[in-house]
Structure 1
Amino acid sequence: MNRSVDPKHKAKRTSSTLKANSRQQDLFVPSHEDSLFSSNECRIVSVGKRRDGGTRYWCLQHKADATAKYGRPAENCRYSHIPPIKSDEILALDVSQYAGGIALWGAVPPVYDTTLQPLDRGIHVHARRSSGGHKEIDATYRSVRLLVGIKDLPKQELVISELDAIYYMVTSVFGYSMKYVECLHCGHPHLDKDWFSVHAHRSHLCAGCGKHFRDSDVAIGNPICKVRSVLGVRAQKPKTSKKQINLRQADYPGGIQVWGSNPAVVWTSKHSEEEEGVHVHAFREDGALAALDDTFSRVTVDGIALDPLMVRTLMAQSALPHISNRVIAINCASCGTSAFDAGEHAFTPKTQRRCENCGNESFETGRLRKVVGNPLVEILERLADRAPRPPQMHSLDLLPETL
């Protein structure tokens, strides 16, 4: 059951309702709040007209479209099925207590996973109290609240959501810069998701109030940019790992997990540098701690080499719903060379392509004619044939954002 507002009878109330409720989750939040959503009940209001003259509806609770056919309010918005964030899925982290440094990354499922580990998504956190000390925190959360002191002001909390972190990863992997963007109507921090996370633009649809606004710059918005600015985090290029590994799946009956590295959302350590490469977890048995947990410049599994760029690209592609099921292995019909679509082609499906090796032009056919080529898809299938058990097929279940 939702609470919708009929524009014919509540027109005067709608404007004030938007102002009162649109600032659902400011970057700074009072420390006594213990969840991002207090209820999963939709709060639907009208937010203007569509291009066809119908009314647009928006859910202020879940910050999502709630327009049904013929310009009517939907029973539930498109995000209503997402469960509220529980208190144990939120990490409150006092930055001053971890002099050894904290590091946060956008966490998505491994591109290859033969373990029985649960789905890992959100914000992965490392925290050390002293330089070189052990990791007191090494876990993943749906939301992180950083307690920080800003000059002489009382400590405040900076909030990072799982979607902020995931799309920061996506935008970073594809080499685009981001900025802090704020709605001109309600002041809500703006996050560009899916298609918009890899295409700079000026016009934005605010998730807080459901209204369109134009920013001063053509850019990609992510609230994390404000967090980094407040913390004084400087952009730094990760160094390529010097480590290499050649492993056999049979030696790790508990399974292996493979990710591509991606730039940290926050990295405060002054005595260590981020490493770039392929990150691997390997388990000797189910339920045990990882026997291997490290980043390598070169990873070979059962004699099959994993290209770090392909791994990193496939990981980011998995978080873009608009190309879901369109990333496949494509081999040239003339010379057999595998097609690896890089740059903007990595997230732009197409029907026609030219082989980089022999120049042969081909056209894709079938139901999904517009596709993206990544040879790693086929490589992982070969690894799966040699695995002690079938790999897990994870899905982030993110919704497409293309309008």
Structure 2
Amino acid sequence: MRPVTPLTLPGMCWPLQASTGHLGVTTTLITGHFRAGAGQDAIVQCALVPAGKFRNGALRHWCRTHQHYWGTQADLADAQATQQRRCRQHASPMGYVLYPALFDPMQCHAATLRLDQDGMLQLRARADLGGALLVRDAPALAIDCRALSGVFHPDIVQLNITPPAAQAFAAALQAGVPLDCSDCARCGHPHLDLGSFAQAPHRRHTCGHCGHDASHSASAIVSTPLWRLRAFALRHPQRFAQCL
């Protein structure tokens, strides 16, 4: 049987188990195998970028898709055998949404964005032109960053609010841990803590965009871009009535 050709479509994806994440993306497209419009069974292609060296001096890469390093002896052997460079998690099922709702905060006012008890994101907003009511209930949501000057790195086109990120943010708020948003010292992208890292404040952060693992925040924090989005909302009350 011939292998099914992977599809490249507008969408967002996320590892089902990870301690870091990649919300601020530079492309709206993902490539992989998808059974439906959303789910937790996607097989998504690796996106490997150079990430310095391992401690033994060997070159390493970072997989933005699976949040995992590539470049070990096992990885090199696999690449030689398959003629593919793919991280160890390349076959792991991932959560995903295709054609996610895209929200531009600068085109609306009186917006509310909250996470309900079932883990769904609820967005309500009024369009500036005409006043139409925008209603979205979805497991994941994309924020158009192109009009949010100075909030995130300029090459970030959208902020993907994934279920793990939203749930970790809500849990950290409830627990009262110190929250902030730490940018990578190498690429400038915002860092996202997930899992147990979203409950234990720390200073050293690994970047989900480039894999740099030696960025330090000024104090021990749980880092998430959603904190910066919330700060933007507080500075623009005419745009946001509530943000997570």
Q: Please indicate the TM-score interval, normalised by the length of the shorter structure.
A: 0.5 to 0.7
Among 64, 78, 84, the residue aligned to 2:89: 78
Confirm whether residue 94 of structure 1 aligns to residue 96 of structure 2: no
Among 33, 38, 41, the residue aligned to 2:45: 41
User: What residue identity is the alignment partner of 2:111?
Assistant: G
Number of residue equivalences: 190
Indicate conservation of the 8 Å contact 1:66/1:78, yes or no: no
* Aligned residue number for residue 137 of structure 1: 135
* Aligned residue number for residue 161 of structure 2: 161
Taking the aligned partners of 2:145 and 2:51, their CA distance within structure 1 comes to 36
Among 256, 261, 268, the residue aligned to 2:240: 268
Taking the aligned partners of 1:171 and 1:134, their CA distance within structure 2 comes to 34
Taking the aligned partners of 1:199 and 1:124, their CA distance within structure 2 comes to 25
Instruction: Give CA deviations for 1:278-312 in whole Å, capped at 9, x if unaligned.
Output: xxxxxxxxxxxxxxxxxxxxxxxxxxxxxxxxxxx
Taking the aligned partners of 1:56 and 1:268, their CA distance within structure 2 comes to 45
Taking the aligned partners of 1:198 and 1:25, their CA distance within structure 2 comes to 18
User: What residue identity is the alignment partner of 1:137?
Assistant: V
The alpha-carbon deviation at position 149 of structure 1 amounts to: 5.1
Indicate conservation of the 8 Å contact 1:63/1:208, yes or no: no
Q: Percent identity?
A: 14
* Aligned residue number for residue 65 of structure 1: 68
Taking the aligned partners of 2:140 and 2:204, their CA distance within structure 1 comes to 28
The alpha-carbon deviation at position 168 of structure 1 amounts to: 0.7
Taking the aligned partners of 2:192 and 2:98, their CA distance within structure 1 comes to 22
* Aligned residue number for residue 324 of structure 1: none
Indicate conservation of the 8 Å contact 2:108/2:126, yes or no: yes
Distance change (3 Å), C-alpha of 1:160 and 1:177: farther
What secondary structure does 1:125 align onto? strand
Q: Which has the higher strand share?
A: 2
The alpha-carbon deviation at position 101 of structure 1 amounts to: 2.8
Indicate conservation of the 8 Å contact 1:58/1:77, yes or no: no
Taking the aligned partners of 1:170 and 1:58, their CA distance within structure 2 comes to 31
Among 220, 224, 227, the residue aligned to 1:225: 227
The alpha-carbon deviation at position 210 of structure 1 amounts to: 1.8
The alpha-carbon deviation at position 187 of structure 1 amounts to: 1.5
Q: How does 1:1-400 map to 2 (within 5 A)?
A: 26=24, 34-35=28-29, 37-39=30-32, 40-44=44-48, 47-50=52-55, 53=56, 55=58, 57-67=60-70, 72-73=75-76, 75-78=86-89, 80-82=92-94, 84-87=96-99, 90-105=100-115, 110=118, 121=119, 124-129=121-126, 136-146=134-144, 159-162=159-162, 163-215=164-216, 216-232=218-234, 268-269=240-241
Indicate conservation of the 8 Å contact 1:41/1:61, yes or no: no
Taking the aligned partners of 2:158 and 2:89, their CA distance within structure 1 comes to 27
Distance change (3 Å), C-alpha of 1:38 and 1:172: same
Distance change (3 Å), C-alpha of 1:190 and 1:63: farther
TM-score normalised by structure 2 residue count: 0.60
User: What residue identity is the alignment partner of 1:60?
Assistant: C
Bigger RCO (CA 8 Å, 6+ sep): 2
Instruction: Give CA deviations for 1:117-153 in whole Å, capped at 9, x if unaligned.
Output: xxxx5x50231439xx9974141142321468558xx
Which range moves more in the overlay, 59-68 or 173-182?
59-68
User: What residue identity is the alignment partner of 1:78?
Assistant: Q
User: What residue identity is the alignment partner of 1:127?
Assistant: R
Greater C-alpha radius of gyration: 1
Indicate conservation of the 8 Å contact 2:75/2:88, yes or no: no
Unaligned runs of at least 5 residues, structure 1: 2-23, 111-120, 235-266, 275-403
What secondary structure does 2:143 align onto? strand
Instruction: Give CA deviations for 1:28-63 in whole Å, capped at 9, x if unaligned.
Output: x6xxx543x24532244564224xx48574443415
TM-score normalised by structure 1 residue count: 0.39
What secondary structure does 1:164 align onto? helix
